[in-house]
């Protein structure tokens, strides 16, 4: 399966070309997935204290666990039973002025980051974003 050797001998090189293209496609997809897994999504909030209250409501409603909590950062653990795809997920929430920045990270074996669950991570970010906006709008209507 030497591509160059087959090409020079004018022998059929279909399988060699197939595997070469397959490796290139997998490599490009891997690079795209790794680059996309590092993006933060911005959500307009109210105030940091109100954003924290909304976040805690969402965590309690979904049965998630607040792993780390301080005034600038919250880390939410989503259990394996909720995802059924990997060894768990974490939603990272950063506070910037009145807005929040969120990202979801999946893990493979141990604490190794798994970029191949990008679509399920995006789905979790969208779920969190939808619930946050609904709770924010409900809170603003009461005020």
Question: Domain extents for the chain?
Answer: 3-34, 39-142
User: How much is the average pLDDT of 112-132?
Assistant: 78
Position 68 scores a pLDDT of 80
Query: Is the pLDDT at 143 greater than 70, yes or no?
Result: no
End-to-end CA distance of the chain: 71
Position 14 scores a pLDDT of 72
The answer to pTM > 0.75 is: no
Query: Percent helix, strand and coil across the chain, each rounded to 5?
Result: 55, 20, 25
* Protein fold of 39-142: TATA-Binding Protein (3.30.310)
Among the residue ranges 37-46, 59-68, 86-95, 107-116, the one predicted with the least confidence is: 107-116
Q: How far apart are CA 106 and CA 121, in angstroms?
A: 7
Query: Is the pLDDT at 112 greater than 70, yes or no?
Result: no
Position 127 scores a pLDDT of 87
Within 10 angstroms of residue 121's Cβ, the number of other Cβ atoms is 24
């Amino acid at each position: 399966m030497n591509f160059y050797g087959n090409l020079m001998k004018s022998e059929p090189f279909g399988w060699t070309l197939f595997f070469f293209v397959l490796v290139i496609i997998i490599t490009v997809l891997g690079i795209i997935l790794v680059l996309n897994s590092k993006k933060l999504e911005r959500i307009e909030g109210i105030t940091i204290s109100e954003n924290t209250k909304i976040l805690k409501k969402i965590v309690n409603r979904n049965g998630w666990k607040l792993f780390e909590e301080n005034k600038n950062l919250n880390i939410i653990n989503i259990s394996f039973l909720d995802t059924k795809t990997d060894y768990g997920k974490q939603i990272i929430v950063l506070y910037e002025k009145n807005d929040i920045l969120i990202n979801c990270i999946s893990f493979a074996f141990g604490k190794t980051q798994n970029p191949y669950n990008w679509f399920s991570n995006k789905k979790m970010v969208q779920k969190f974003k939808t619930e946050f906006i609904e709770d924010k709008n409900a809170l603003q209507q009461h005020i």
